[in-house]
Structure 1
């Protein structure tokens, strides 16, 4: 069995942002804007990717190798978020992190991506 497919580099063209700070921990997210020439000037949907790992491991900065290319090719903006991990926090804290990221996106994505290029 080859592991070559599991070590793909991070897709280019992203920007990094901090969506919140909780108990001194900065919570980042990474945005890949939709780049297809088919949708220039049209509002595009966005996907908030929440990494797996059983809430105890995982990273936001390199989603599964297929996530970003698959959704960008269908004219989606992709937002990959970080959240605090167990056992340092509870599942309720993790849910709060995810809802904070979603609220941040609703407020800030129009400014970052252009209000006419995002469907909220």
Structure 2
């Protein structure tokens, strides 16, 4: 649980800093979208540390933000490297947090 939530928090930080890494910090809507989704994912992952189960809203929040991060490069027509990064890390976010919805003991 701690490892999955920590990885999800790190991916949230990546979404937060990615506008400056990929050079689209001047596109205001894309910048605010990345800042919003990245910070929501980071905070949700940190709040979910040590918790798992279908009734933990923080994990559901991270699943949704991961899915939205897959959509961001399609909406704002980002470059190929940014597109691949967002899709990969968004998909990994969804998978990690979906796996966190079910306890490891099952």
Q: TM-score range by the shorter chain?
A: 0.3 to 0.5
The TM-score, its normalising length taken from structure 2, stands at 0.32
If each structure's strand is expressed as a fraction of its own residues, which one has the higher value? 1
If each structure's helix is expressed as a fraction of its own residues, which one has the higher value? 2
Highest CA radius of gyration, 1 or 2? 1
